[in-house]
Amino acid sequence: MTNIEVNTAMKLRTGKRHLREGIKNIFRNGWMTVASIGAVTTTLILVGAFLALMLNLNQMADNIEDDVEIKVLIDLTANESQIKSLGEDIKNIDEVASVKFSSKDEELENLIESMGEEGESWQLFEQDNPLNHAYIIKAEDPVDTIDIANEIKGFEAVQEVNYGKDVVQKLFQFNEYARTIGLVLIAGLVFTAIFLISNTIKITIMARSREIGIMKLVGATNGFIRWPFFIEGLLLGVFGSIIPIAAIIVGYYYLENTLGDKISLSFVELLPFNPFAWQLSLIILAIGAFIGVWGSVMSVRKFLKV
Amino acid sequence: MIQMKDVYKTYANGVTALNGINIDIDQGEFVYIVGPSGAGKSTFIKLMYREVKQSKGTIVINNTDMSELKEKKVPFLRRNIGVIFQDFKLLPKLSVYENVAFALEVIEEAPRNIRKRVMDVLELVGLKNKARFIPDELSGGEQQRVSIARAIVNHPKIVIADEPTGNLDPETSLGIMKVFEEINSKGTTIIMATHSKDIVNTIKKRVIAVEDGLIVRDEHRGEYGYEA
C-alpha cells in the first residue's frame, strides 16, 4: 500500500471507531441521555408548533398582499396615444411588476360577472358603456403600493387611482407587526432551546470531564476526543426530533382536514400538508441535529484544556 | 533522553514545588525517585509528560525542548511516554480491555493488531481473565495493573510510574517489578517514584532523592535512605 492508501485506511477506521464510540456513549450514559433527548423533544415540539403557526400566518399575509392591486382609471377624454404613453410611464416605474390594460368593455364584463344575478341589470349599459378604460397594476413588493399609487396620480390622463387606501395601509402595518413579533418569538424560542439543551448536555459532559482529562493524558488529540461527542450530540438531536416530527405530521394532517373545511375565506388557507408538513419536519430535524451537535461540541471544548 | 536544567516550579497558588532541578537520564535507565511526601516528587514527574509546565528552566524530553512544544503537539509527546498514575486514571465506563485498547486507538493502530497486543499485555500483568470487567469491579491492585498494561501496551520509550506498588501486596509488587525489569531490559527507560524501602534496597537501581524541591542525592545502585 502507498502512504496515501495507508492514511485513508487509518482515517476510515478511526471514523468507524468514533461512530461506534458515539453510539456506545448514548447507552453508557443511560439516564443522562434520556434527559438530554427529553429536553430536545420538549423544545422542538414548541418550536415546531410555533413555526407551523407563524409560517401559516405569514402565508396568509402574503396571500392578502398579493391580492392588492392598483386600478388606474383613465380619463375619458384621453386619446389612444395618451393612453399608450401613460402605460409606458407606469411600466417605467421601478417597483411595478406588471401592468395590464383593461378596456371599458372588459371592465363592464368583470363587473357584471362579479355581481351575479344583479349584474344582469348592468347589461343595459353594454350599448353605452359609462365606465373608464383602466390599467391594473401589481407592485413588485406589495408594500410599495401606496408610493406607486401616489406617483401615478401625478401622470397625465389619469382620472382616478384606486387601491383601497385605508385597508391597505392598515393591513401592511398589521402584517409588518405580525412578522416582526413572530420573528422575534421564533428567534427567542430557538435561542432558549439551544441554551436549555446545551445546559443539559453540559451537565452530562461535566460528569465526564475527568474522563476527558484522562484521555488527554494518554495522548489523545482534541479531535480524537471531540468526534465521538459530535456523533453523540448529533444522535441526541436526531432522536429528540422524532416525537416532535410525528406530532407535527399527525397534528397538521388532522388540522388541515378539520379546520380547512370549516374556514373557507379565500385568504385563510392553510399551507398544503404536502409539502409543508415534510418541509417543516426537515427544518425540525435540522434544528435538532444542530442544537445537539452545538451543545455537545461547545460543552466538550471547555474540558479539552488539560 | 530526559534532561532538566535549573528547573523551577511555582504553582498559581504560590506554592513552590521545585527549586532548581538538574538531571540527566539516559535511554534505557531504571531510576527510582524517592523522598518524603510533599517533597516535589510528583511535580518532578508531571513535568516529564507535560501535565505541569515549568515556571523557569529548560526541559528536554526525547530531544524536544518542552518550552518550545506547542499545545497541539503535546498528545504526540505523551504517546511516547507511558504513565502509571497513583490514582490509576482508568476510564470508569470502559472495560479493562477497552481501557488498554484506548491507548492503541489513540495512535490509530489497526484493529486486528489491537486485539492481539491488548491480550498479550493483559496476560503479562495477569488480568487476561478479567478483560471484560469494568474498573469498579476490580480490586485496587488489579486496577493498578490495568493502568500498567495501558502504559506499556504501545511500547513507549519511557515509562513513568507514580507509586505503582503503593496499593499492592508484596507478592504482586514483585510481579510488577518483574514486568518493569523485563521492558527495561528491552531498552525502555523507567522512572518510578516510590516509598517502598524493600523494593529500592532489593532491586538495586539508580536512586534520585528529592527534598524540598531539590535533588539531594543521586547515586547508582543506591539505597532507599529513609526509614520506612
Residue A2 is predicted with a pLDDT of: 66
Residue B23 is predicted with a pLDDT of: 95
Residues A97 and A240 in one domain: no
Residues A181 and A144 in one domain: no
Residue A179 is predicted with a pLDDT of: 79
User: From the CA of B225, how many Å to the nearest CA of chain A?
Assistant: 32
Q: Where does the pLDDT of residue B117 fall: very low under 50, low under 70, confident under 90, or very high at 90 and above?
A: very high
Residues A54 and A179 in one domain: yes
Residues A158 and A12 in one domain: no
Residues A29 and A175 in one domain: yes
Residue B27 is predicted with a pLDDT of: 94
Closest CA to B167 of B187, B195, B206: B195
On chain B, the residues whose CB falls within 8 A of the CB of A211 are: 91-93
Boundary of a domain, candidates A162, A186, A202: A162
Q: Which residue has the higher pLDDT, A190 or B219?
A: B219
Nearest to B78 among A10, A211, A218 (CB): A218
**What is the total count of domains within chain A?**
2
User: From the CA of B202, how many Å to the nearest CA of chain A?
Assistant: 31
Angle A229-A233-A234 from CA coordinates, rounded to 5°: 115
Boundary of a domain, candidates A93, A127, A162: A162
CATH assignment of the domain containing A87: 3.30.70.3040
Domain membership flag for residue A117: yes
Query: Which cell goes with A67?
Result: 391580492
Q: What is the pLDDT of residues A210-250, one digit of tens each?
A: 888 899 999 999 888 888 888 988 998 899 999 999 998 89
Domain membership flag for residue A95: yes
Boundary of a domain, candidates A162, A185, A200: A162
**Position A107 pLDDT exceeds 60:** yes
Residue holding cell 524540598? B212
Residues A49 and A194 in one domain: yes
Please give the Cα distance from A28 to A108 (Å, whole number).
77
Domain membership flag for residue A1: no
Residue A25 one-letter amino acid: N
| Interface probe, candidates B69, B108, B146, B157, chain A, greatest A C-beta count within 10 A | B108
| Interface probe, candidates B46, B97, B105, B107, chain A, greatest A C-beta count within 10 A | B105
How many beta-carbon contacts under 8 Å exist across A and B? 49
User: From the CA of B26, how many Å to the nearest CA of chain A?
Assistant: 23
Residues A229 and A287 in one domain: yes
Q: What is the pLDDT of residues A52-105, one digit of tens each?
A: 888 887 777 777 777 778 888 888 787 878 888 888 887 778 887 788 888 878
Maximum mean pLDDT: which of A189-193, A266-270, B92-96: B92-96
State whether B93 and A211 contact (CB < 8 Å): yes
| Interface probe, candidates B93, B134, B146, B157, chain A, greatest A C-beta count within 10 A | B93
What ipTM was predicted for this assembly? 0.87
Residue A95 is predicted with a pLDDT of: 80
Residue B132, helix vs strand vs coil: coil
Domain membership flag for residue A19: yes
Alpha helices in A119-164 (DSSP H): 145-153
**Position A8 pLDDT exceeds 90:** no
Q: Please, what sign has the CA dihedral across residues A212, A215, A217, A222?
A: negative
On chain B, the residues whose CB falls within 8 A of the CB of A306 are: 51
Maximum mean pLDDT: which of A38-42, A141-145, A198-202, B190-194: B190-194
Residues A190 and A254 in one domain: yes
Closest Cα in chain A to B91: A211
Query: Which cell goes with B163?
Result: 507509586
Residue A238 is predicted with a pLDDT of: 92
Residues A186 and A239 in one domain: yes
Domain membership flag for residue A251: yes
Residue A260 is predicted with a pLDDT of: 60
Residues A291 and A142 in one domain: no
Helix (H) or strand (E) holding B208: strand B206-211
Domain membership flag for residue A22: yes
**Position A19 pLDDT exceeds 90:** no
**Position B93 pLDDT exceeds 60:** yes
Q: Where does the pLDDT of residue A119 fall: very low under 50, low under 70, confident under 90, or very high at 90 and above?
A: low
User: From the CA of A40, how many Å to the nearest CA of chain B?
Assistant: 25
Which of these ranges, A181-195, A240-254, B195-209, has the smallest mean pLDDT? A181-195
Mean pLDDT, residues B115-133? 93
**Is B70 near chain A, with CB under 8 Å?**
no
Residues A60 and A82 in one domain: no
Domain membership flag for residue A3: no
Residues A133 and A15 in one domain: no
On chain A, the residues whose CB falls within 8 A of the CB of B84 are: none
Is B6 within 8 Å of B197 (Cβ atoms)? no
**Position B147 pLDDT exceeds 60:** yes
Closest Cα in chain A to B46: A217
Closest Cα in chain A to B94: A28
**Position B38 pLDDT exceeds 90:** no
Domain membership flag for residue A2: no
In which domain, by residue range, is A83 found? Answer: 69-162
Integer angstrom CA distances of residue A132 from A73, A75, A129, B145: 6, 7, 8, 100
A77 Cβ contact list (under 8 Å, min separation 6): none
Residue A268 is predicted with a pLDDT of: 62
Which of these ranges, A182-196, B34-48, B178-192, has the smallest mean pLDDT? A182-196
